[in-house]
Structure 1
């Protein structure tokens, strides 16, 4: 028995060593700085794959309102950090990646030396507060690690993370006046009244615990924390900025500003004071929890049991390498390698783990729940991510995507309205954007056999969500087949998105053999026809009386019935039935002419003046890659027998919209959707209509790739004669058999095999 066990252990060790040798260091290609300049809205700090903590620098956290008016600059700070800035105000523990809306930025920490300053100061006068100047020359951002020198205090700041713990390491100069500031007022999307309440308890001379309750984009969000220092602080203090006379303790026997064991209020900043030797390192660990201070402390002790910063950094980077090695590619250039693996990195940040190490989390009912058989996730930017991110997960991260579906069904169960998520995070529904696209994600997982839960219950949740008559025009949509322009500012795009989502529900029903449900929802999926004006060949807002709106501008993005787009972008949005759309537009020739015009037209200056979230960098002709509604459009040439135009446009988009530099993204990364588009298109195929098992063939930019699937199977891609100029596909074969319809099936990939492209510089018409 001993010999058998000994042999088994030896075999496992040999296999582990073999796998370790086989794993490439792909993290070296990740550059988290990409997307931090201009419109990308990514953050450069330290996180692990799908981690709860995103520990990153803030270069500013502007107030959403100035004198009661919207502050246009706050949109720039959705991730807290902008590459263009020259000062850092501190390092906080929670961030969105690539969104067009702001929140989070919890628990900001900043090391300083010299005279204590408990205000952040301004970018114009950083010396007036605790912020510091910095240089990008002294900044390093890697997967799982961030480093920067704070010039004003000569402190080297280093950050790494586990799933639930942010780990700081600060190298101080010699000083008897060193401080670490904990700012509990700071936050992204910072309304003056965002902080509802904050509580801090000093446990001893190196540990504090507490919580922060905020009312930002998420209306009721409470995050608990446990924070430890590697060195006891010699003193500490706090200041409450509520504007009230501070309470001095019972009969004024205590001074609450200095060395008082606990403090509570809306606007609190604290300082912890140290004596430091030259080059002395002080480390700080902060764990967060959605449930309790006790759980935060448990997370801290389980995930960071010691003070070995290098070990935690190495573990974080090893975690990234494990995920990145799920696809091994060779590309034409080093920059392409950087773009590819940075895109993979960005796709594996969100959604984020939302539960403690013991499985507990706070649900939408604000009660504590236990995730018994799944990892609970949050940060569902579904209007963006249903298109490519979650279909990508169904290939590369099927177990996680299964858990994400289960998380959304838990959301449904806990929600008094009995709706699936629209845009949710931290046990809150934000109601952002349109459609009920969680049904698309669920349908895609069921059709592709990723979901292991009860599909009957999943279908019931989808149907219930699609029939919420008092939500965003659904009642009128059900009754009339469209949403009228008088009643809804995004009536056309809502109608189109509901029609697609209804088709997705129909696919679940079809798989489960529910013919009556299938027929009902297939019929609903044709409602796109009700906002298609045949007289002009485009989507157009329709009035309650059935007539089309007279005052109409195909190019305008405002007041025309569309969200984040115009009629040109949305008139191609029937991903579930492109052949019917082609017929409605006048046939293949006319449809092709419209596609050509979309990619070559010139947009007037007014188009850009009317919108805050579209930059010229994100546009090719009238095609807006920086927003999602047209992400599938370049692939539609395949449906009109012009695949060479799909191939040319895909390679143009890959080249123009993704570059290995700080401003290298042509729009918000939107929780990984932009990056998922890049990965799919680089590999040579794309899911036009999630909920279908079809992928449309494009033009790969990689030389070759291996998709190492969770099942142990491998799907290989090879592009023969690949070059910058050879953007056209002469022929394509799957497992030695030619593909003539420019479509491959999901099962073709999951079964393993080989997809071979023969590339050329001449369009094959």
Structure 2
């Protein structure tokens, strides 16, 4: 009997373990996505748990200031820009409640969010909410606790709504211009009464409401109210057509099932094996984040462009917008080149359309649904185009792109957060080769300078050097020899602000004098904007991505370069955290003076490769991923700008990274997973096998690329574009001789990689 019991227990244990393993094995990519990661920020803007289909026009998330807020404000209909507020909202209300407001605040419970579905219980209203999106339409199922007359308040913050036979239609004006988002909403259940909510009172004799926070109230004599709606940037009629094209059901289950399949197909473009469950959650959540932008706003072959306020035919090429290029050119666009090349070409064509439709003809910097918001500094659309072209993407007019980029870099002011013609500071830059700084006691004398963002002269100079380099490469491809030489020479302007005594990029005044005294941690005022941008001098010390070899030369030797790099991760804050972050709130995720939380830092851990010590990159990358990207509410170290930072996680977890968009190579780091398979399209795949990979075994012992022994800390895009396999043998101790001789190309050595 005892043997029988023991045998039975063993069988049951094996069955349970088998069942558990089956659950894990049968997980799909979307099952690993946790939209709550990063919803509580370290200091600044948190991530938002966005519900949407990949790159789709319709996005929603619960509208609350922070994750810890006690209430949500209504139910969103559409979020028109990344991290923006919603346009329109639905507020369910029982007739038993005497609370009337255009938007009702609810405490809530039992919230569940996935990329393709949202559900929540609204406490006071006693309503169960279930939601699923499509691309340009969506569906709400609402279950009230009572069967008396229940109501929906549909609000427009700045627009006009009117009742229809089965629902509501109207528009809301968004942004500061003429851009409108249109709504067509219909209910499955009969509407028993309706009216306009004006000054928190229902007027049943009114069929429309217009103005600030005016709303329509619909009444139902049902416990269940199901509504579906379409949205458009073209017209109410187009919103209705979008709904009818996409949704023919009132069942959230049906729509959510479609959305889940779409997400699995999308995220399944990259397959990972091995690693921990948390590693997979962080990985696939990061990959999901990269699909929040840009968004496709073509509607039945047409699109509204805020760049000229007109509706255009898209001629079979979808129009994309909502892109903060200062963030996304570094890794988000390079990731798309690999797994979404057709989409990336469409996005570049969208840039060209924006330039052609704008009155100046300039390339966008921060294009949104409402137009170009011209934030940050630099004009990095040229980097996106250069990178795509040199990695083999075609299907866009390179000559037209060049002309628009050249006009942007030579006619548009380099001043941050501005879209104006050249100022005297720009003329100075063209003549002297650097953007001038003010002395600490010198008042600003150029009226065009943004009062808060300041001049940012080091950030502007370095960013423009890189943009000029990218433009020179396109000029070379087009046979524009004179332009190639001119912009290539300008791309070395960083030398004009290099302080050889300190080995930092140091602001100069208009007379060519370095600003003194100077502290590379704190000089520059709020956000260091008087000289840098959001980050301090320790970060911008490394902002020469197109010519790391020359930066090594400037610092004296590879050994000195490594010493300076190591000190970046070791240099103390210098003051208490409160003081440091009060001045530099974007400079979070600190390891010494390194900031994992801000995009100009993302390439820095890979720079050891360029000085012949790749094992230090391997160690550093693993440590940074482990320290700062985790499966919890504070699992993102800073602003995650719609893929700007999480694309770094996707690349780094796979074991490689595009340090310099425009140079078609990838630096090798240290993969988190034992196996990675990336779908490059057309039946081709790039695989990475990391043998013996584990938390401890982070160091590359040897490598084989496409069947050949590989002793380089990098590989080219050509090595993998038609498919390939990289095999890495990993160990727990550094192999300090692997990958040390053939360093990644930069500067002059790029010409050996790219044919002249």
Once the 2 structures are TM-superposed, how far is the Cα of residue 94 of structure 1 from its aligned partner?
3.4
The equivalent of 1:656 in structure 2 is: 627
Identify the residue that residue 700 of structure 1 maps to in structure 2: 671
Residue aligning to 2:101: 119
Corresponding residue for residue 323 of structure 2 = 380
Instruction: Please state whether the residue corresponding to 1:107 is helix, strand or coil.
Output: strand
Distance 2:564 2:80 in 1: 36
- Secondary structure, in 3 states, of the residue corresponding to 1:169? strand
Task: Indicate the SS of the match to 2:230.
Answer: strand
Match of 1:546 among 501, 512, 526: 512
CA drift of 1:523 comes to: 0.7
Structure 2 equivalent of residue 109 of structure 1: 90
Aligned partner of 1:169 in structure 2 is 141
- After superposition, what is the alpha-carbon deviation per residue over 1:31-66, rounded to whole angstroms, capped at 9, x for unaligned? 11112122563222421000111122112xxxxxxx
The one of 484, 487, 495 equivalent to 1:529 is 495
Change in Cα spacing, 1:560 to 1:527, as seen in structure 2 (3 Å) is same
3-state SS of the aligned residue for 2:86? coil
**Cα deviation 1:77-119 (Å, max 9, x = unaligned):** 4xxxx3212212222133378x6xx534111112122324233
Partner residue of 2:60? 55
Out of 479, 484, 489, which is 2:431 matched to? 479
Q: Map 1:503-652 onto structure 2 (within 5 A).
A: 503-556=469-522, 557-603=527-573, 604=575, 605=577, 606-615=579-588, 618-652=589-623
| Runs of 4+ off more than 6 Å | none
Distance in 2 of aligned mates of 1:342 and 1:134: 24
CA RMSD of aligned residues (A): 2.0
State the Cα deviation string for residues 581-617 of structure 1 (Å, max 9, x = none): 11112221221111111112221232211134344xx
Asked if the contact 2:141/2:251 (under 8 Å) is kept, the reply is no
Distance in 1 separating the partners of 2:678 and 2:362: 35
Counting only pairs closer than 5 Å after superposition, residues 394-409 of structure 1 correspond to structure 2 as: 394-409=337-352
| CA distance in 2: counterparts of 1:425 and 1:296, whole angstroms | 20
Counterparts of 2:314 and 2:426, CA distance in 1: 32
Aligned-partner Cα distance in 1 for 2:434–2:198: 53
Cα deviations by residue, 1:2-33 (Å, 9 ceiling, x for unpaired) = xxxxxxxxxxxxxxxxxxxx997211111111
TM-score, scaled to structure 1: 0.86
State which of 74, 91, 94 in structure 1 corresponds to 2:78.
Answer: 94
Aligned to 2:180: 222
Give the aligned partner of residue 131 of structure 1. Answer: 105
Contact 1:329 1:706 in 2 (8 A): yes
Structure 1 stretch 372-381 or stretch 266-275: which is displaced more? 266-275
Cα deviation per residue 1:609-641 (whole Å; 9 max; x = unaligned)?
Answer: 1134344xx222211111111110000001111
8 Å Cα contact 1:256/1:263 also seen in 2: no
Would the alpha carbon gap of residues 239 and 349 (structure 1) be closer, same or farther in structure 2, given more than 3 Å must change? Answer: same
The answer for the alignment partner of 1:289 in structure 2 is: 232
Residue by residue, what CA displacement relative to the aligned partner does 1:201-232 show, whole Å, maximum 9, x if unpaired? 2121x22111111335xx44311111111212
- For 2:422, the equivalent position in structure 1 comes to none
Q: 1:501 aligns with which of 467, 470, 473?
A: 467
2:392 equivalent to 1:449: yes
Indicate whether 1:369 and 2:312 are aligned: yes
Q: Deviations over 1:443-500 (max 9, x none)?
A: 1111112231121111111111111254525433222211111365201101100100
Is the CA contact 1:240–1:265 (under 8 Å) kept in the aligned structure 2?
no
What do the CA deviations read for 1:500-552 (whole angstroms, capped 9, x no partner)? 01111112122233222211111111111112111211011111111111142
Matched, 1:721 2:687: no
Q: Is the 8 A contact 2:196 2:207 kept in 1?
A: no
Conserved 8 A contact 2:654-2:671: yes
Q: For residues 347-375 of structure 1, what are the alpha-carbon distances to aligned partners after superposition, in whole Å with 9 as ceiling and x for unaligned?
A: 11111112223433234110111111311
Relative to structure 1, the CA distance from residue 305 to residue 505 in structure 2 (aligned partners, 3 Å threshold; closer, same or farther) is: same
The match for 1:17 is none
Partner Cα separation in structure 2 for residue 614 and residue 159 of structure 1? 37
User: What's the offset of the Cα at 1:259?
Assistant: 4.0
SS in 1 for 2:528: coil
1:740 match: secondary structure: coil
Q: Tell me by how many angstroms 1:560 deviates.
A: 4.1
List aligned pairs for 1:261-276, cutoff 5 A: 261-276=207-222
2:450 — aligned with what? none
Does structure 2 retain, via aligned residues, the 8 Å contact 1:35–1:662? yes
Q: Which stretch shifts more, 648-657 or 382-391?
A: 648-657
Contact 2:161 2:169 in 1 (8 A): yes
Segments of 5+ residues of structure 2 without an aligned counterpart are: 1-24, 416-424, 439-445, 447-453, 737-756
Q: How many residues align?
A: 679
8 Å contact kept, 1:685–1:697 = yes
| SS of match in other structure, 1:175 | coil
Q: State whether residues 161 and 312 of structure 1, in contact with CA within 8 Å, keep that contact through their aligned partners in structure 2.
A: yes
Deviations 1:625-680 (CA, angstroms, capped at 9, x unpaired) = 11111110000001111111111110011111111112211111111021110011
CA contact (8 A) 2:202 2:217 kept: no
Q: For 1:427 and 1:346, locate their aligned partners in 2 and report how far apart those are by CA, in whole Å.
A: 22
The separation in 1 between residues aligned to 2:89 and 2:161, in whole angstroms, is: 14
SS at match of 1:673: coil
Q: Distance in 2 between matches of 1:685 and 1:554?
A: 30
Give the corresponding residue for 2:163. 202
The answer to whether the 8 A contact 1:380-1:421 is kept is no
